[in-house]
Chain A
Amino acid sequence: MDILSSFNYWAVIILMMIGFYIIIANNNLVKKIIGINIFQTSIFIMFISMGKVIDGTAPILSESATLYSSPLPHVLILTAIVVGISTTALALAIIIRIHTAFGTIEDDKIQQEIK
């Protein structure tokens, strides 16, 4: 039961490891960025699932509800998503320039050329 009750964390960990594996193992720079995105998404999920209060409703003030989920993690994650998107955008921009400079976006080929 204990495992199931914290299944959200398991999901987070699995996603995180997938993302992490892609970052390390993949040779293609764009795919590395995809890995980073998955990695970050897992953290977002962690935050959002944390905010859920059992039996709580959406945090909109109404007379019928007495228990609300915590809205703060959602707000934080909005910011984190923005940060993530900026990172992705910058990374892609750098990859484009790497492509024009090196003619490839494969990690090993670039490293060869640098040496």
Chain B
Amino acid sequence: MITSQLPALQVILPLAAAPLCVILHHRTLAWVIALLVSIFSFCISCALFNQVLSENTITYAMGGWVAPWGIEYYIDKLTAYMLLIINGVAVLVLLGARRSIENEIASDRIYLFYTTFLLNLTGLLGVITTGDAFNLFVFIEIASLSSYAMISLGKDKRSLYAAFKYLIFGTIGASFILISVGLLYVVTGTLNIVDLSEKLLIADNRATITTAFVFFVVGIGIKAAIFPLHLWLPDAYTYSPSIVSTFLAGTTTKVFIYVLIRFVYSLFGYEFSFFVESFHYVLMVSACAAILYGSYLAIKQDSLKRTLAYSSIAQIGYMFLGISLITELGLMSSLIHIFNHAFIKVGLFLAVTAIIYSYNTDSIEKIAGLAKTSPFVFLLFIISGLSLIGVPLTSGFISKWYLIKASLEADYWILVFIIVISSVLAIIYIGRIIEAAYFKVSDKQTATVDLDKKIPYLLFVSLVFISCINIYFGIETTLNVDMASQIANELINK
């Protein structure tokens, strides 16, 4: 009985828990609730994952109104895969969040953080599960509004400006998506994604569909921070509280890439998007630019979080690059990278969270000697860092392997070149941090280490978890690679 309600429960659970946090108005209780909810939510997504493996697709009519009139929740393998990633990240981030949040957010606002966090989770999960185009817009806005709020919670006043900037960009992006949905509705008279895709095939108003497609791409481009629409990202990741950066880096952009994949493959259709609109060339160029630009700027930063932010821009480029190859292997490599990068980046950001917690600095120059004072955090940072670079036996290697293989298969030599160049740049920007932390202090620039502030136990646990995940998926890849290959196969050969 309950299993049939799982799709709804997935979204409603965090939504219902959010006001609970406000009512209780207690910072520790709020954390406990958020953590429990995310664990439950993770369990639900596991259950859904299992269910999808046997049943292929699950549809759920919200409120009993059958599609295409009612809002339908539509869960296939891709959805289940994304749910697993987002929920996994949420659990790991929340596990380590408590002490760092107490450190970085004013104490009377802490319960609000957990509220907005849960709302954000609701939004992201909703975006993934919903099968209705307009509902998708609403969930996008739930996720975005709560993330603006989360960013602005930081003690650093620059976080306010970053949040505002993100708000402006994000709202424009969401509005573009809304326009696109509106135009599609004009053409087809329906909002259900499955229904839309069928009606679009027979619709004769091509110009409107093209317009809708363009608006959609630009809107989602802003949201997913694809170069050159990424301008909001560095500030938002740098100035927001570390835990917020961690969660955003692991989830938000990936969810929007999911939306792109969903729309391009399921809604507009593969042939339309690529062969009629030649969309992949645009995507490929901007992906390459993102990879080089992001990696290059990551080297120039002094702030740890900013380095990682620019690295994220580059990594988003990788994901788009895979899609732009328009082959099954390319799409598969993208999906694998979405999975792996979520955990790699969360690992790196969590390690930085731990560093900021005990060192009170975000500057690479000031973390000299970190390897001596907190060797384990340093080690865990290295593991995630190596994974980002793509050293074998880490998950990043698997991503890179498939991406290079896909580029070779599609005969794009230049892409292989770009990928390896950016890997070298990744060696440099991760190497800089490691080198700074590894070598002893040469002058008196170091920040004072607050010895009362040992790395919080739970943060450490979640870091260890993430490092294990990063290594595990470099060795045993049945879960993500097989799943990604099935998804890619289904999306392309549908």
Inter-chain contact A94/B138, CB cutoff 8 Å: no
| Contact pattern, A 9-51, Cβ under 8 Å of B = 1, otherwise 0 | 0000000000010010000010010001001100100110010
The residue of chain B having its C-beta at the shortest distance from the C-beta of A110 within the complex is B161
CA distance A114 to B175 in the complex (A): 29
**Residues in chain B near residue A32, CB distance under 8 A:** 168
Q: Which of A80, A94, A102 contacts B163 (CB 8 A)?
A: A94
Q: Which of B141, B145, B161, B172 contacts A39 (CB 8 A)?
A: B172
**Residues in chain A near residue B296, CB distance under 8 A:** none
Q: Which of A36, A43, A47, A98 contacts B168 (CB 8 A)?
A: A36
What is the CB-to-nearest-CB distance from B237 to chain A, in angstroms, rounded to a whole number? 15
The residue of chain A having its C-beta at the shortest distance from the C-beta of B164 within the complex is A94
Q: Which of B152, B175, B186, B189 contacts A97 (CB 8 A)?
A: B152
Inter-chain contact A86/B164, CB cutoff 8 Å: no
| Contact pattern, A 55-94, Cβ under 8 Å of B = 1, otherwise 0 | 0000000000000001011001001100100110011001
What is the CB-to-nearest-CB distance from B116 to chain A, in angstroms, rounded to a whole number? 10
Inter-chain contact A50/B186, CB cutoff 8 Å: yes
What is the CB-to-nearest-CB distance from A100 to chain B, in angstroms, rounded to a whole number? 9
B177-185, B305-313, B344-352, B380-388 - the one binding chain A: B177-185
With A36-B168, A36-B171 already in contact, the answer to whether A90 and B161 are too (CB < 8 A) is: no
**Residues in chain B near residue A70, CB distance under 8 A:** 189
**Residues in chain B near residue A23, CB distance under 8 A:** 168, 172
CA distance A76 to B134 in the complex (A): 8
- Chain B: number of interface residues, binned into ranges: 20 to 34
Q: Which of B164, B182, B191 contacts A43 (CB 8 A)?
A: B182
Inter-chain contact A29/B164, CB cutoff 8 Å: yes
With A36-B168, A98-B160, A114-B161 already in contact, the answer to whether A90 and B145 are too (CB < 8 A) is: yes
Binding site secondary structure of chain A: helix
Inter-chain contact B182/A98, CB cutoff 8 Å: no
Binding site secondary structure of chain B: helix
**Residues in chain B near residue A94, CB distance under 8 A:** 148, 152, 160, 163-164, 167
What is the CB-to-nearest-CB distance from A15 to chain B, in angstroms, rounded to a whole number? 12
B300 at the interface (CB under 8 A from A): no
Inter-chain contact B178/A101, CB cutoff 8 Å: no
B454 at the interface (CB under 8 A from A): no
The residue of chain B having its C-beta at the shortest distance from the C-beta of A101 within the complex is B157
CA distance A43 to B172 in the complex (A): 11
Inter-chain contact A87/B179, CB cutoff 8 Å: no
CA distance A50 to B181 in the complex (A): 12
Inter-chain contact B171/A73, CB cutoff 8 Å: no
Inter-chain contact A47/B182, CB cutoff 8 Å: yes
CA distance A46 to B134 in the complex (A): 15
Inter-chain contact A40/B168, CB cutoff 8 Å: no
The residue of chain B having its C-beta at the shortest distance from the C-beta of A29 within the complex is B164
The residue of chain A having its C-beta at the shortest distance from the C-beta of B140 within the complex is A83
Q: Which of A87, A98, A102 contacts B145 (CB 8 A)?
A: A87
What is the CB-to-nearest-CB distance from A16 to chain B, in angstroms, rounded to a whole number? 8
With A76-B134, A79-B138 already in contact, the answer to whether A98 and B161 are too (CB < 8 A) is: yes
The residue of chain A having its C-beta at the shortest distance from the C-beta of B134 within the complex is A76
**Residues in chain B near residue A98, CB distance under 8 A:** 157, 160-161, 164
With A46-B182, A97-B152 already in contact, the answer to whether A90 and B172 are too (CB < 8 A) is: no
Inter-chain contact A50/B171, CB cutoff 8 Å: no
What is the CB-to-nearest-CB distance from A18 to chain B, in angstroms, rounded to a whole number? 14
Q: Which of A29, A46, A79, A111 contacts B179 (CB 8 A)?
A: A46
CA distance A40 to B178 in the complex (A): 9
Inter-chain contact A80/B185, CB cutoff 8 Å: no
With A76-B134, A97-B152 already in contact, the answer to whether A87 and B178 are too (CB < 8 A) is: no
Question: 10 A-B residue contacts at CB 8 Å?
Answer: A32-B168, A36-B168, A47-B182, A50-B185, A72-B191, A79-B134, A87-B171, A90-B149, A97-B152, A102-B161
Q: What 4 A-B pairs come out closest when comparing CB atoms? A: A101-B157, A83-B141, A98-B160, A47-B182
Given A40-B175, A101-B157, output 9 extra A-B contacts at Cβ < 8 Å. A39-B172, A40-B171, A50-B182, A50-B186, A83-B141, A91-B167, A94-B163, A94-B164, A110-B161
